[in-house]
């Protein structure tokens, strides 16, 4: 009786990495282990790194100049093939690195087989992701800057627009819309700082680390770093191939940015409800209901709020992947790219649409001003008494009593006269009536960091610079 034939794929038999094996892998194993379906987007960075590597190999005379030229021409031709959609990907190649090398050997002949001299996929993979993130982090910072500029535009137009600030979702004290919006600018500036720091830690050239222990061949890592515009070179070959801290840095910055965008979206959702009525969403950014014809839904903002969870998940997944890995490279790290790509593909569109949305939001200044009055001015009353010598806790108690009694009478602070105030303290004088004005409340809050319109305008000038 004949023994069953082993299942192999024809593509697997010509795989560049199968010299050690007598047969090919099962097709389902190829499909499960391949990263090619998603790491194709690294093709430009892989080719760029390979061109620099080939040039260096020729420089140190490990390959001839003629072979290097053939390799570079072949790589440029492959780049055009991929860009045009003519490149034929094969799952047996496992990843974009082998796919390009296979095609290079077809295009450049024996010269193509020399490209991988003094290089491992381990340091090649690390290089490609670093090159990719260097480009993409710069792009994220550009998107952040556009959103920041949009917020500054809104703030500039609303330095005098009064609204209530909130704690515990209860009206607290008057602020300006500009002051509120500039709080998000502060967040975005910190986000920019974090992404810049992540970029600096990404800007380290790992190529030359080999599989984990470098190479016996005398290569010139500095030349490659210069050609690829890296500021630093990795100092430990084992760390170079296993380090994904830079990916975690990017994901961490992305997760916190996503949280900021979620908070921002939540506030716009609240402001545009009938209950708040502070703002109206533009039609271009709103969605209707399949059943209720009157609805104008903030689906865009809800999705930004919801998608923050997946970016946080990308960070947690990456940390979980790394936490149990021994040095050096393990295939678990292959999961890094999907996490990075997913976070990137989530935050960039969110930044883009929010930058376009903010300048088109219509604010109801009268409604916001009305909401900023009343009991939101209670702290101003307490500080009025403090200025006249009363201990703050005593002033706090007196004003608390005024608020309680006023609510019981079904009135607001603006309804009270000087006699009502003086019945609680003789320190109240006629000028206290002028205090019960939201515009005046924010005007006198001129301590650095406060909502005074003058301070706000100066802050906007500095932020624009």
Active site residues per annotation? 168, 289
Q: Quick check: 33 and 331 in contact, CB under 8 A?
A: yes
Rg of the chain on CA atoms, in Å: 31
In this structure, the strands spanning 362-363 and 279-280 are antiparallel
Strands (E), 117-230: 162-167, 170-176, 204-205
Decide: 368 and 163 in contact? Cβ < 8 Å.
yes
How many CA atoms within 13 Å lie on the side-chain side of 388? 14
Measured between alpha carbons, how far is residue 107 from residues 60, 118, 127, 289, 378 in Å? 24, 21, 24, 56, 79
- Asked if the bond preceding 397 is cis, omega within 30° of 0, the reply is no
Q: Residue 234: name the closest of 199, 198, 196, 207 by CA.
A: 207
| Exposed/middle/buried for residue 365 (C-beta within 10 Å: 0-12, 13-18, 19+) | middle
The token pair that represents 250 in the structure block: 């990017």
Q: How many CB atoms neighbour CB 422 within 10 A?
A: 14
Q: How many CB atoms lie within 10 A of CB 378?
A: 18
Residue 280's H or E segment, with its range, is strand 279-280
Contact 178, 155 (CB under 8 A): yes
Assigned token pair, 40: 């194709």
Give how far Cα 358 sits from Cα of 299, 422, 450, 461, Å.
Answer: 15, 46, 23, 19
- What's the Cα-to-Cα distance from 161 to each of 140, 205, 305, 405, rounded to whole Å? 31, 50, 26, 30
């Amino acid at each position: 009786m004949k023994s069953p034939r082993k299942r192999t794929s024809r593509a697997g038999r010509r795989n560049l990495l199968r010299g050690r094996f007598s047969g090919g892998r099962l097709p389902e194993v190829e499909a499960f282990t391949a990263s090619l379906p998603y790491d194709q987007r690294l093709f430009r960075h892989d080719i760029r790194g390979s061109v620099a590597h080939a040039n260096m190999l020729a420089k140190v005379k490990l390959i001839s100049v003629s072979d290097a030229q053939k390799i570079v021409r072949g790589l440029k031709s492959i780049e055009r093939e991929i860009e045009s959609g003519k490149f034929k990907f094969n799952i047996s190649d496992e990843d974009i690195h082998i796919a390009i090398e296979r095609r290079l050997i077809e295009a450049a002949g024996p010269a193509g087989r020399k490209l991988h001299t003094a290089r491992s996929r381990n340091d090649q993979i690390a290089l490609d992701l670093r090159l990719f993130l260097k480009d993409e982090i710069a792009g994220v910072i550009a998107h952040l800057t556009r959103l920041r500029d949009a917020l500054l535009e809104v703030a500039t137009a609303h330095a005098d627009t009064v609204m209530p600030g909130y704690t515990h979702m209860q009206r607290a004290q008057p602020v300006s819309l500009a002051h509120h919006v500039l709080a998000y600018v502060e967040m975005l500036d910190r986000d920019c700082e974090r992404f810049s720091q992540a970029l600096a830690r990404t800007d380290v050239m790992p190529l030359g680390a080999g599989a984990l222990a470098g190479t016996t061949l005398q290569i010139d890592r500095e030349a490659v770093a210069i050609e690829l515009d890296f500021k630093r070179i990795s100092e430990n070959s084992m760390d170079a191939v296993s380090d994904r801290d830079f990916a975690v840095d990017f994901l961490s910055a992305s997760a916190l940015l996503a949280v900021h965008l979620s908070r921002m979206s939540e506030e716009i959702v609240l402001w545009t409800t009938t209950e708040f009525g502070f703002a109206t969403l533009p039609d271009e950014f709103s969605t209707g209901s399949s059943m209720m014809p009157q609805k104008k839904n903030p689906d865009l903002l809800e999705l930004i709020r919801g998608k923050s969870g997946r970016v946080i998940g990308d960070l947690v997944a990456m940390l979980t992947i790394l936490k149990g890995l021994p040095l050096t490279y393990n295939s678990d790290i292959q999961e890094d790219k999907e996490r990075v790509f997913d976070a990137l593909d989530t935050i960039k569109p969110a930044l883009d649409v929010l930058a376009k949305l903010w300048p088109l939001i219509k604010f109801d200044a009268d409604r916001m001003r009305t909401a900023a009055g009343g009991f939101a001015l209670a702290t101003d009353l307490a500080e009025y008494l403090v200025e006249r010598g009363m201990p703050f806790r005593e002033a706090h108690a007196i004003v608390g009593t005024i608020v309680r009694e006023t609510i019981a009478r079904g009135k607001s602070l603006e309804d009270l006269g000087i006699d009502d105030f003086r019945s609680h303290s003789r320190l109240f004088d006629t000028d206290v009536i002028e205090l019960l004005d939201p515009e005046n409340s924010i005007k006198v809050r001129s301590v650095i960091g406060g909502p005074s319109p003058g301070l706000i305008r100066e802050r906007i000038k500095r932020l624009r610079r």
